[in-house]
Amino acid sequence: MRDVVVVGSGGGGPVVAKELAGRGLDVLVLEAGARHLRPEQEWTRLEDDANNPITGVLRVGPSKRSETPWLRDFPQNSFVWQIAGVGGTTLHYFGNCPRPPAGVFAGYDGPDKAEYDTAHLFPFGYDEFRPYLEWVEQTLPVQTAPMGTKEAVFFRGAEGLGLEHQTRKDVRGPAYRAQENCILQPQGTAGRTNDPRQLLYPDAQGCTFCGHCFQGCVEPRQAPRNLKARRSTDNSYVPMMLTADAWSQGGKATELITDAYVVKVLMSNGEARGVVYRTPDGALHTVEAKVVVLSGGCIENPRLWFNSGLPNPNDWVGRGLTEHHLDWVFGEFDSYVGSSRGAGSNVRCDFPGYGGVENVCLPPALQSFAMTFSDSGICGVYDNDSGVGPQGADTLGRLVGNDLKGALSKVDNLLTALVVTDDDVQADNRVTLSSVLPSDEHGRVARVEIQHRKRTARTRRNRDFLAARAVGLMRAAGARAVHRMDWAPLLLHVQSSMRMGLDPATSVLDSDGQARFVPRLFIADNSALANSAGGANPTLTSQALATRTAEKIFQTWFGGDPWVQAESPTSSIDDRVTAAVLDRGL
C-alpha cells in the first residue's frame, strides 16, 4: 500500500509529489507518456519534428512515435494543445508566472469586485493564498524577465496607452510590466553570443536567448537537468521529487513510472483506494494507495472519472472548462522589432476584471499558424459572420497572398500580442465521453465542447476590450498596420473542468482540493482551478494550489502539520538537488 499515488507528471502532479516526498511520504507518480531523459540528444529544434500534434515528439500520444496519437473528439473547429510525457504541457510553455488578481478569490472587496466572475470565486481569500504563490516562486524560481528591443517597443505602446508601470508582484490595477517568468537569467556567455561552442554549461548559464522555448528547453547544453534555463516541471519539480531524500531531511525519493496510463480509479467503501494502469504491452497493474491525486489535466481527469464510473451527483464533472478565450493581434512596423529574438514572452499588460495582453513571439511555422488561424474568415475575401469587430484594427481575419507574404517576410518587423481573456465559467463548456469516436486502448475517449459563439456577455466584452487595447498599444508603439485575427478556439490554457468552489451545487472539489463525492481523492492541476484565474497564465496559480492541496493531504490523512507559513522552500537549483541529479544520472 502506497501513501499517495499521483496520476500525471505535467504542470501539477510533480508539485504534489515533491512536497509530500519532501515530508517523507511514499509517493508513486504514474505518467501516461514518455520520459525524455536525454533531451539534448532526443529533441531537435525543427518545428514539425517537435510540435506536429500527430507525429511530433511533443504530442498527446505514446512514447513510440510510430504509433498513432491519442485522439479527442471536437464537435467544433478547435484544438487542445497539450503534451503527454514527463513535464506534460509545460514542455511547451513560456514559463510566464503572473499572479492571479485578488478579485477572483472569495472575500475580495475592492472597488472593481463586480467585474469578475463572482459566481465562481476561489473558496478562500487571496491573502491566504499568497504564501503558496511565494513558495512556488522561490522553488522554481521565478524572476523578472530580461528586456530587449521587442520589449522596449511593447513598453512604448503601453506607455502610449497611459498605463502605469508596475513593479510589484501583486496585480492591483491596469498596468504594464516585465513578465515574472521561471526562466533562469542569462549569466556568463549566455545572451552574449550566438556561437554554440561558447554556449555550453558552465561557461553559459541560464537562458541563452535561443528563441526555441516551444520545442522544449535544452539550454544551456551540458547543464545538469535541474539547471536548464526554462523551469518546465521536467527541469524543476521532477528532479526535486526524484531526489527528495537528498535535499530534505527525512525526505523519500518519489518513484516515477512512465508509459503507465491510468485507466481506472479504484473505490472501496465509498473512498478512493488506488488505481489501475495499463502499460504498452497491454498488461493491467493495480496500485493501492491511501490517497489518490489526479493531475492528468483538464481533459483526461474528467475522462478518467467517467471511465471509472465515479459518482457525479451534481453533474459538474467535466463542466465549467475555461480557456481564456484567446485572440491574436499583430502590428507591422517599418523598423526592426526583433520579434524572433530571445525568450518568447517577456512583457505584459494586466487589466484586472478583463484579463491580460502579452507579447508572444513564436518560431516561424507557429508564427504563420498564429497569423492565419481565424474565426472571421479571410479578410477582404469572405467573412465568417463570427460577430466580432476589428476593434480599431486595419483588418479582421486572416491575411492571404501578398499581404501574408509581406508580413511574414519581415517577421522581425512584427510585434505580436496574445489576448488572454478572463472568461466566465460556463456549464456548457465541458468534457464528456465521445459517442462518435471509437474507444482506444484506454477506454472511451474525451469529447471537448466549447460554445465558441455562445459566450457570456462579460466574456465577449472582456475579449473585445483587450483586443482594442492591443490594437491601441500597437498604434501607440508606431505600427504602420494592425491586424486582429479573431482566433478560432485554440485551447492552450485549459482550466477548471473539475473546479473547486464555494457552492457544492456547481463544484467538484471542496476548498481543500478533495473530491466532494469521493474521500481520499484529490485533484491538483489546472482542472482544479475555480475559474480562469482572471486571465493570468494559469500554471503558477495551479502549482500554488497544488502546494496547498499537498499540505491539506498531509494534515487530513497523515496527521502532519502545515509547513508553508513555517519554513522556507528549497529551490530547485539548490546545490543538493544538482549533486543528486548528477550522481543519479537524472
Contact 56, 48 (CB under 8 A): yes
Q: Taking CB under 6 A as the rule, does residue 538 contact ligand FAD?
A: yes
The grid coordinates of residue 381 equal 475575401
Q: Taking CB under 6 A as the rule, does residue 31 contact ligand FAD?
A: yes
Binding mask 318-337 for ligand FAD (x = CB under 6 A): --------------------
Q: Which is nearer to ligand FAD, 295 or 391 (CB)?
A: 295
User: Which amino acid appears at position 558 of this protein?
Assistant: F
Q: Taking CB under 6 A as the rule, does residue 363 contact ligand FAD?
A: no
Q: Taking CB under 6 A as the rule, does residue 14 contact ligand FAD?
A: no
Closest distance between ligand FAD and the C-beta of residue 144, in Å?
Answer: 15
What three-state secondary structure class fits 89? helix
Stretch that binds ligand FAD, among 2-10, 159-167, 377-385, 402-410 (CB under 6 A): 2-10
Closest distance between ligand FAD and the C-beta of residue 346, in Å?
Answer: 11
User: Looking at 74, 135, 154, 261, which residue binds ligand FAD (CB under 6 A)?
Assistant: 261
What three-state secondary structure class fits 68? coil
Closest distance between ligand FAD and the C-beta of residue 303, in Å?
Answer: 8
Closest distance between ligand FAD and the C-beta of residue 510, in Å?
Answer: 19
* Placement of cell 499517495 in the chain: 4
For the chain, how big is the Rg over CA atoms in Å? 22
Longest dimension (CA), the chain: 69
What three-state secondary structure class fits 561? coil
Per-residue b or e along 460-470, where b marks 16 or more CB atoms closer than 10 Å to that residue's CB? bebbbbbbbbb
CA 486 – CA 371 distance, rounded (Å)? 10
- How many CA atoms lie within 13 Å of 315's alpha carbon, on the beta-carbon side? 3
Closest distance between ligand FAD and the C-beta of residue 262, in Å?
Answer: 4
Quickly count: other Cβ atoms within 10 Å of residue 439's Cβ: 11
- The helix (H) or strand (E) run that includes residue 469 is helix 457-477
Closest distance between ligand FAD and the C-beta of residue 264, in Å?
Answer: 9
Q: Taking CB under 6 A as the rule, does residue 89 contact ligand FAD?
A: yes
Contact 106, 125 (CB under 8 A): yes
Instruction: Output the CA angle 345-420-549, nearest 5 degrees.
Output: 90
DSSP 3-state helix, strand, coil percentages of the chain (rounded to 5)? Answer: 30, 20, 50
Q: What is residue 146's DSSP assignment?
A: P
Residue nearest to ligand FAD according to CB distances in the complex: 10
Quickly count: other Cβ atoms within 10 Å of residue 38's Cβ: 10
Q: Taking CB under 6 A as the rule, does residue 539 contact ligand FAD?
A: yes
Q: Taking CB under 6 A as the rule, does residue 174 contact ligand FAD?
A: no
Contact 557, 199 (CB under 8 A): no
Closest distance between ligand FAD and the C-beta of residue 62, in Å?
Answer: 10
Site for ligand FAD in 268-297 (CB under 6 A): 295-297
Q: Taking CB under 6 A as the rule, does residue 36 contact ligand FAD?
A: no
Stretch that binds ligand FAD, among 8-16, 124-132, 243-251, 452-460 (CB under 6 A): 8-16
Q: Taking CB under 6 A as the rule, does residue 30 contact ligand FAD?
A: yes
* Alpha-carbon distances, residue 278 vs 91, 127, 260, 275, 570 (angstroms): 24, 42, 6, 10, 34
Q: Which is nearer to ligand FAD, 92 or 463 (CB)?
A: 92
Site for ligand FAD in 201-230 (CB under 6 A): 214
Q: Taking CB under 6 A as the rule, does residue 425 contact ligand FAD?
A: no
Closest distance between ligand FAD and the C-beta of residue 445, in Å?
Answer: 12
Contact 287, 28 (CB under 8 A): yes
Closest distance between ligand FAD and the C-beta of residue 425, in Å?
Answer: 16
Closest distance between ligand FAD and the C-beta of residue 14, in Å?
Answer: 9
Q: Taking CB under 6 A as the rule, does residue 300 contact ligand FAD?
A: yes
* Alpha-carbon distances, residue 180 vs 185, 347, 386, 430, 572 (angstroms): 11, 9, 34, 31, 17
User: Looking at 4, 11, 22, 433, which residue binds ligand FAD (CB under 6 A)?
Assistant: 11
Q: Which is nearer to ligand FAD, 295 or 416 (CB)?
A: 295
User: Looking at 24, 95, 146, 216, which residue binds ligand FAD (CB under 6 A)?
Assistant: 95
Q: Which is nearer to ligand FAD, 85 or 103 (CB)?
A: 85
Q: Taking CB under 6 A as the rule, does residue 47 contact ligand FAD?
A: no
Q: Taking CB under 6 A as the rule, does residue 493 contact ligand FAD?
A: yes
Q: Taking CB under 6 A as the rule, does residue 421 contact ligand FAD?
A: no
Contact 306, 144 (CB under 8 A): no
Stretch that binds ligand FAD, among 94-102, 391-399, 474-482, 575-583 (CB under 6 A): 94-102
Stretch that binds ligand FAD, among 106-114, 130-138, 183-191, 531-539 (CB under 6 A): 531-539
* Alpha-carbon distances, residue 514 vs 61, 189, 507, 509, 511 (angstroms): 28, 47, 11, 5, 7
Stretch that binds ligand FAD, among 26-34, 106-114, 399-407, 571-579 (CB under 6 A): 26-34
CA 230 – CA 143 distance, rounded (Å)? 11
Q: Which residues, 6 or more positions from 520, have their beta carbon under 8 angstroms from its beta carbon?
A: 271, 272, 273, 290, 291, 292, 514, 557
User: Which amino acid appears at position 87 of this protein?
Assistant: G
Counting Cβ atoms within 10 Å, is residue 140 exposed (0-12), middle (13-18) or buried (19+)? buried
Stretch that binds ligand FAD, among 93-101, 198-206, 386-394, 478-486 (CB under 6 A): 93-101
Instruction: Output the CA angle 429-392-401, nearest 5 degrees.
Output: 85
Q: Taking CB under 6 A as the rule, does residue 316 contact ligand FAD?
A: no
Candidates 449, 469, 14; CA nearest to 242 is 14
How many residues belong to the site for ligand FAD (CB under 6 A)?
40
Closest distance between ligand FAD and the C-beta of residue 70, in Å?
Answer: 9
Contact 449, 432 (CB under 8 A): yes
Q: Taking CB under 6 A as the rule, does residue 85 contact ligand FAD?
A: yes
Stretch that binds ligand FAD, among 80-88, 240-248, 316-324, 554-562 (CB under 6 A): 80-88
Site for ligand FAD in 541-560 (CB under 6 A): 542
Binding residues vs ligand FAD (CB under 6 A): 7-13, 30-33, 81-82, 84-85, 88-90, 92-96, 214, 261-262, 295-297, 300, 304, 492-493, 525-526, 537-540, 542
